[in-house]
């Protein structure tokens, strides 16, 4: 049994690693070509290459579910095509035992993905995004294609870039009164967080009155805000690339500011339930190998796996977006696809004789 355990382990793990390598390499190549179309300022070919390299952990994390699914299909499919799966079954090894053995390398890859998503991807993604935004034009008002907006009370802010040291570049502030009328527009070239407060440099602004507009320039001004570099670093990164702890902290902050937090709540629960979804997909893949895909070409198995993975991915996104439109609980919207996937996988396995 020890030899069989090791054999099935490597039969699933090696194809999964090969798939992740191919997918990440192709995605990196196409993404680099896309980045070359948007070169500007100090963001040139070498900076674009650095951006692609820095985002590799995120790409591995994103493609791991597909790699695990295809790895199970390819590995067990090869055993089925060569007749080894039939021999294993004839030796008295049940479908349930083969399933448990095939799930072990999948669980290992899941753990690697969880560690990447929690500890590596948030830092590398923030580093990549901030370096790109700074290179594209850190000192111009609302210039960066990859800057972000934020609201605090009656003030709306656009920040071109947040570097890894917590320094803000190109901060544009729009202050409104209670009647939603613009009172002041302000541009800050650079802001640093020191001693619990923000120190600004290069300030240009305009005060809007009922009958006139007054412009001014200052070396620095006081900026009273509850924002910290930690929160801004979170806001600068897409929700799906944040660590779970940072996601929860930012959700709490948005709720305190009475801002919409549904997107971050949905992402939080989707990340928590992602292992369940992947295990469900692997169960479906194993049931296919013992059932309709037992004696078909490898190309058909790959096509089936890709279609199944894409259907689940886009179905999950569809349910998530619809839940925000119709104000359905983010927990229910995030749980429905993986739970249904697991139920379907178990049901298909139970039908195998």
Of 21-30, 80-89, 194-203, highest mean pLDDT: 21-30
- Residue 300, pLDDT > 80, answer no
Q: What is the pLDDT of residues 96-142, one digit of tens each?
A: 888 888 889 999 999 999 899 889 998 898 888 888 877 876 555 55
Beta strands in 166-245 (DSSP E): 168-176, 182-194, 197-208, 213-218, 222-223
Residues 49, 241: Cα–Cα separation, whole Å: 20
- Residue 293, pLDDT > 70, answer no
Burial 1-20 (b: 16+ CB within 10 A, else e): eeeeeeebbebbbebbeebb
User: Which of 117, 135, 137, 113 is CA-nearest to residue 125?
Assistant: 117
User: Which of 206, 208, 224, 231 is CA-nearest to residue 216?
Assistant: 206
- Residue 56, pLDDT > 90, answer yes
Residues 68, 65: Cα–Cα separation, whole Å: 5
Q: What is the pLDDT of residue 137?
A: 62
Q: What is the pLDDT of residues 193-211, one digit of tens each?
A: 887 788 888 898 888 887 8
Q: How do beta strands 197-208 and 182-194 pair? A: antiparallel
């Amino acid at each position: 049994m020890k030899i069989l355990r090791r054999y099935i382990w490597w039969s699933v793990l090696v194809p999964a690693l090969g798939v992740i390598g191919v997918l990440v390499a192709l995605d990196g190549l196409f993404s680099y070509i896309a980045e070359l179309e948007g070169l500007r300022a100090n963001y040139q070919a070498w900076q674009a290459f650095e951006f692609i390299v820095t985002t590799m952990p995120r790409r591995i994390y994103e493609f791991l579910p597909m790699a695990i699914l295809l790895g199970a299909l390819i590995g067990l499919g090869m055993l089925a095509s060569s007749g080894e799966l039939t021999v294993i079954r004839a030796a008295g090894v049940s479908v349930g035992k083969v399933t448990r053995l095939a799930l072990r390398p999948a669980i290992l890859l899941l753990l690697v993905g969880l560690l990447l998503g929690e500890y590596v991807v948030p830092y590398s993604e923030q580093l990549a995004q901030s370096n790109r935004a700074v290179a594209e034009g850190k000192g111009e008002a609302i210039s960066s294609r990859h800057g972000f907006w934020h609201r605090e009370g009656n003030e709306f802010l656009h920040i071109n870039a947040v570097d890894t040291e917590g320094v803000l570049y190109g901060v544009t502030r729009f202050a409104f009164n209670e009647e939603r009328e613009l009172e002041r527009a302000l541009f800050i070239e650079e802001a640093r967080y020191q001693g619990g407060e923000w120190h600004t440099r290069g300030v240009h602004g305009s005060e809007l009155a009922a009958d006139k507009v007054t412009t001014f320039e200052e070396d620095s001004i006081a900026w009273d805000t509850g924002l910290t570099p930690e929160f801004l670093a979170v806001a600068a990164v897409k929700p799906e690339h944040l660590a779970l702890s940072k996601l929860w902290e930012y959700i709490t902050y948005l709720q305190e500011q009475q801002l919409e937090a549904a997107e971050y709540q949905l992402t939080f629960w989707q990340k928590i339930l992602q292992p369940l979804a992947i295990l469900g997909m692997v169960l479906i893949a194993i049931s296919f190998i013992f059932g309709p895909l037992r004696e078909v070409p490898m190309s058909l198995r790959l096509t089936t796996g890709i279609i199944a993975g894409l259907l689940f991915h886009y179905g999950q996104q569809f349910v998530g977006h619809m839940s925000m439109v119709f104000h359905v609980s983010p927990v229910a919207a995030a749980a429905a696809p993986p739970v249904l996937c697991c139920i379907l996988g178990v049901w298909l396995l139970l039908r195998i004789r």
